[in-house]
Each structure stands twice: as structure tokens, then as C-alpha cells.
Amino acid sequence: MNLRFLILPALLSLAVGCSGMNPRTVTPEDNLSSIKLEKDYIFMAEYATGVKYEYTIKSGIYEPAGLDSKGVYYGGSPSCIITKVIETSWVLTESLKGKVLGTADCGVYVPNNKKSLKVYTVIGTNEAWGNSEPTTIESQKVSTSTFTEHSITPGGAAGVGIGVGVVNALIEAEKGRFTFVRNQKITSELIESISFLTKTNQNAEDASPIIQTD
């Protein structure tokens, strides 16, 4: 099946990842504080197919959402990551270049050594838009029929149904799990933009940098 014929919701799921992790639930005994992302953080991901995505994770408070032996998953507010198409190829139609595919719930994984942070999304929370302006959500959403009208060639409908069905089945099976954004290129700017907050009064005045600088 030609991947360029996938409808938008399934395409967004592929962009932000599909295979999920199920970290341990955080309890009060873990004594974890929240973190604060001081400003929106933008990063890129490029794939062998030639497709390049731009991701924006929103600033704000990220609460402990799970943990494993190597680090803590901090979850943000709903729809905290925005996915935008920067470069297309045979996988995506040219009309999607520069478009915002949509949003998803997201978070930041902070390893115990506070290095090599990663951005993750929550499977099953994708909201497809297909537009260049993410601030007008209701008016800018693209329906499945609108997208496929311009993307499916004659005879491709059967392949679309099978392909999308498989992707949707995978999403349903992994719903609620965390998945790292694939091929993400995270810079030191993300680490420098994050502060830990004290548990007693979690606000900007009580924030301490995630890393110490000289």
C-alpha cells in the first residue's frame, strides 16, 4: 500500500509514534516534584523517506506521570504537542507541506542523570487538523472525506481501508501508553528551559534549574 494514501488521523499517529510504553504509576511515596518548561520548545525529526516534521511542545507545568528504573515521565496539559509538516516526499502529498497535522497529549522524559531528555506522546490522544494555523481549532479541522478527496487515486480506496484499519487497531491496542517521538533531535535548549519545582509551593519563584551552570 502506498503510504501517501493514509487518511490524516492515521498519518498523525505515524508521525508521533505508535509503539507504546507503560511505565509504573507515580505514588506519593515517590516524592516527585513537577517541572516547568519556561517557553515553547521546537524540535525537528527527519525520516529516511525524506519527510521532515517540526514539533512544538508548549510551555507550562509538567506533572509526574510515570516512572521506570531509568527516569521519570512528566506529562503536560492536553494537546501540548503540535506536529507540522516541513518537507514532503512520496509518502505525503505536496499539499501538506507547511501544514499542521494536529496535536496530541505529550510529556518530557527526564533520565535519572538529567541528560538526553526525550519528548513522548500519549497514544490515542491525537487530534487531526491539517492546517497552518493551530489557534483556530474548530474552523481549521480537516475531515477525512476532504483529505482523501485530494489524496486517493482511483483504485486506492481498498488499500486505504486496510492500511488505516491496521493503524487504528494498533492505536486502540496501545491507547493510553507513552511513545517517544521517533527520530527526534533534542538540543540542550530543552534542558536549559526546564526547572524543577518544590512540592510545597510549585510556582516560578520556587523553580530550580534542571542543570547547574557555572
171-208 tens-digit pLDDT: 566 688 899 998 999 999 999 999 999 764 555 445 66
Cα 143 from chain centroid (whole Å): 21
On whether the CB atoms of residues 122 and 175 are closer than 8 A, the answer is no
Question: Structural domain tally of the chain?
Answer: 1
Q: What is the pLDDT of residue 6?
A: 43
Flag whether 203 is in a domain.
no
Three-class secondary structure of residue 22 per DSSP: coil
Burial call 78-98: b when 16+ CB within 10 Å, e when fewer: ebbbbbbbebbeebbeeebee
Flag whether 96 is in a domain.
yes
| β-bridge partners, 85 | 53
First-to-last alpha carbon distance for the chain, in angstroms, is 54
Flag whether 54 is in a domain.
yes
32-56 pLDDT, tens digit per residue, is 999 999 999 999 999 888 889 999 9
Flag whether 135 is in a domain.
yes
Residues of the chain with pLDDT under 70: 1-20, 129-174, 199-214
Flag whether 12 is in a domain.
yes
Flag whether 202 is in a domain.
no
Q: What is the pLDDT of residue 159?
A: 41
What is the domain extent for residue 193?
3-197
pTM for the whole structure: 0.73
Flag whether 45 is in a domain.
yes
Q: What is the pLDDT of residue 41?
A: 97
For CA atoms 61, 66, 71, 73, the dihedral sign is negative
Flag whether 211 is in a domain.
no
